[in-house]
Amino acid sequence: MGGTNISLAPNLTYLLSDKISIGGGIQGSYSSLKDIQSTTTFGGSVITQYSPIKQITTLLEFAELHVSTKTETATGAAKKTYWDSALFIGAGYNVTEKISLGAKYNVLYKEDESVYTSAIIPFVNITF
């Protein structure tokens, strides 16, 4: 069984001080399991980041995604569209000034209703 997963989620942030930044972003993704299911999402987010020390970044992010899923069944294709909200609280380690690695937790996560497969999502942030 083959599959595809493509995702892009750029953010634009503004530095309020050397410790605090705010911003927003857009995100979109497409995932597919060959001949079984495909899901497309798009939406936006707002984010606040706080760096208490140079090596650590904490974040608070709200995202709203429109989800469209098509599942192949024995009786034909079943389609479902809905909106999914996420409120993430997270932290990361700043590997360099431009790269951070961490994880964020979705406090609104509901296993049967979320487009996300887990409440905890790892992240890599690369700043240009």
* Residues 119, 89: Cα–Cα separation, whole Å: 11
Structural domains of the chain in order of their starting residue, each with its CATH number = 3-126 (2.40.160.20)
The residue with tokens 């857009």 is: 26
In sequence order, the β-bridge partners of residue 57 are 92
Cβ-contact 32, 3 below 8 angstroms:
yes
Cβ-contact 43, 24 below 8 angstroms:
no
Q: In terms of pTM, does the model score above 0.75?
A: yes
The alpha carbon of 21 is separated from its chain's Cα centroid by a whole number of angstroms, namely 18
- Local confidence pLDDT in tens for the 128 residues of the chain: 678 889 998 999 999 999 999 999 999 999 998 878 899 999 999 999 999 999 999 999 999 999 999 998 888 888 999 999 999 999 999 999 889 999 999 999 998 888 888 999 999 988 87
